Amino acid sequence: MSTVQTLDRAIATVVRQHGGIGGAAAVVKNGEVLLRHSWGWADQDRRYPFTPATLFRICSISKQFTCATLIDRFPDPSALDGDVKARLPLLAETAPRTADLANNQSGLRDYWATAMLCGSPVEAPFGEAEARRLIALTRSLHFQPGTRYSYCNQNFRLIGDILADRADRPLSDLLRKIFDRAGMERAILGAETSALPDGTVGYEGSLEEGFRPAINRILWTGDAGIAASLDDMIAWEKFIDLTRDDANGLYRRISTPQSFRDGALAKYGFGISHGKMLEKRITSHGGGLRGWRSMRFYAPEERVSVVVLLNHMGDPRPAAQELFAAVLGVPAKGPAPEPAKGWTGTYFEPETGLSTRIETTPDHKVQLHYVGRATETLDPKGEAEAGNPSVRLRRAADGLWMDRPDENFSVKLVPNEGEAKTDIGGSFHSAEYDATLTIVDRGGQLSGAFSGFLGPGLMQPLIPSGPDVWRLPCPRALDFSPPGDWTLAFKRESGRITGVQVGCWLARRIDFRRM
C-alpha cells in the first residue's frame, strides 16, 4: 500500500475518532503535500463548510511567529532588555531578559492565572488596558529568570507589544512581513477573538451533548492572536523545509535549542518545543483557546510536517500522531504499560508550594495532578518508577521524588496526610496584586473566592488536601484552559491562622496576609 493510500485510511480514522464539529489536517514530506484534508463545519448554524482556505485560530502556535519577528528585527534580542524592565516598574528583583521571555524562563506569573486572582469573572472581556495594568502590578517572580521553565502567555504579549512600540507600527504589520516571506496569503493577526473575518466559529461540547459556540472575549496579540488557514500552515511547513539548511533561515534560528543559566539544555525556546514523537525528534507547538485546538510539528531527519486544526475542544495530538505513524509505517501506539501499584497519595511540593495528588487508573496508568487543570499521565516502569517524556516519579530510599527535566528541577514530595482544620475562615489580602481572598463557612461548607480590580470572582467550595492545605478549584476562567486548582497553604502563629500562600502552576507563591 502506498503512503498516500495509508494516509487516506489514517485521515478517515482521525475524522471518525477526533473529528468533532469540524477541522483540517495536512502532511508535508520533503516539501511536497501528501495530505490536505478538511471536514465538517466552520459554522454549523449557517452551514459554512470547513475548507483548507478557512481561517482558523492557531492559538499558541502564534508564539513562534512573534519570535520569528523578534529575531528578524533584532538578531540580538538583548537590545530590548531595557524595554522589558520598563514594563515592570514595580518589580523589586532582577528583571528577566528578552530571551528569558522567548524561552518561557522569565519567572513571571501568567496573566491567564493572575487575572482570576484579581477577581475576573469567567469569560470576561480582557484587552490591552487590563493586560497592561495586570502586568505592571508585578513586584516579584516565582523563580529567578533563566533557572526554570514555566509556560507564560504574557511573555509573548510583552515581546509583541515592545516590537510594535519600537517600530511605531502595529504588530499585525510586522507579522505580515513574515507571512509574506512564507507565502501565508490569508494569515492575519486577529486579536479580537470573538469573531473571525470569514465567520468561522469555535465550539465547545461533544457529539453526545451537542456543540455550542464558545464564548471568548479576550484580545490576544503576540501570544495567541494569529488566525491562519490550513493552506497558510502548509505554506509555513514548506517554508520550514525549504530553508532547513540555511543558517540564517528564520525557523532554523528560532528552533535552535536553548539553555538554562546553569547550562542545562532547555526543551523550549523562542516559541518552539523540542521533543520526540514515535521516537523521532520533532520541533513543535500546540495551541488551545476556548473553542479551538491546534498542533503542528516538523521532524527534521524525516523531513515530515504534520498540522491538525480543530474548531472544537478535542485533543489534536493523538490525531497528529496517527498521521505521523501512517507516514512512517509504524503503529501509532506503543505496548501496554505494566500494572500500576502503590502510587496513590497526596503530597505537598515544596519547590513551588503546590498540592500534588497521585492516582491510578483501571488501564494501569499513573495520573499526576500537579500542572494546571490537566492531568499528567505516566506509564509505570516496575514498582519504583513511572514517567513520560516530561516528568518522572521515582521511589528512593529517602522518599518519593518528582523529576521535571523540561522545567530544570527535581524535588522530593512531602506526604501531606491527615485532617485539615476548618478554622480558616476570614479575609486575606495580597499587597502585590491588591487582591482579596475571602473564605466563608456556610452550614459546614467552606467556600472561597478572589476579588480585585477585575471584579468579584465566583465562590467555589474548598477541597481539603491535608493539614492546613486546601484546594480552591478554578474550573473555568478567561479562556482554555483554566489555571486549575489554587493551592491554599495556610500559615499559623501560636496556633492562629495569620496568612496563606496561594499558588497554581502558572502563578506560584503569592502571599496573602489575614485582614
Number of domains in the chain: 3
Q: For the segment 405-427, what is each residue's pLDDT rounded down to a tens digit? A: 999 999 999 999 888 899 999 99
Distances (CA, A) of 25 to 205, 232, 295, 462: 21, 12, 10, 42
- Residue 506 near residue 370 (C-beta atoms within 8 A): no
At 483 the pLDDT is 80
Which residues are catalytically annotated? 60, 63
Distances (CA, A) of 69 to 224, 257, 273, 295, 343: 14, 18, 18, 21, 46
Structural domain boundaries enclosing 246 = 3-76+185-328
- Note whether residue 434 is domain-resident: yes
- Residue 73 near residue 174 (C-beta atoms within 8 A): yes
The pTM score is 0.94
Given 328, 359, 382, the domain boundary residue is 328
Helices within 22-95 (DSSP H only):
62-73, 81-86
Co-location of 306 and 351 in the same domain: no
Co-location of 317 and 201 in the same domain: yes
Reduced to 3 states (helix: H, G, I; strand: E, B; else coil), residue 24 is strand
Reduced to 3 states (helix: H, G, I; strand: E, B; else coil), residue 180 is helix
At 230 the pLDDT is 98
CATH number of the domain encompassing residue 497: 2.40.128.50
- Note whether residue 431 is domain-resident: yes
| 250-261 mean pLDDT | 97
End-to-end alpha carbon distance in the chain: 71
At 338 the pLDDT is 65
Which of 47-61, 206-220, 298-312, 314-328 has the least mean pLDDT?
206-220
Co-location of 193 and 214 in the same domain: yes
Q: For the segment 455-501, what is each residue's pLDDT rounded down to a tens digit? A: 999 999 999 999 999 999 988 888 877 788 999 999 999 999 999 99
Count CB neighbours of 335 within 10 A.
7
Co-location of 279 and 383 in the same domain: no
96 Cβ contact partners less than 8 Å away, ≥ 6 residues apart: 84, 105, 106, 107, 108, 141, 145, 146
Strand order in the sheet with 414-415: 409-412, 399-404, 392-396, 385-387, 376-380, 366-369, 354-360, 345-349, 414-415
Residues making up the chain, counted from first to last: 515
Co-location of 351 and 472 in the same domain: no
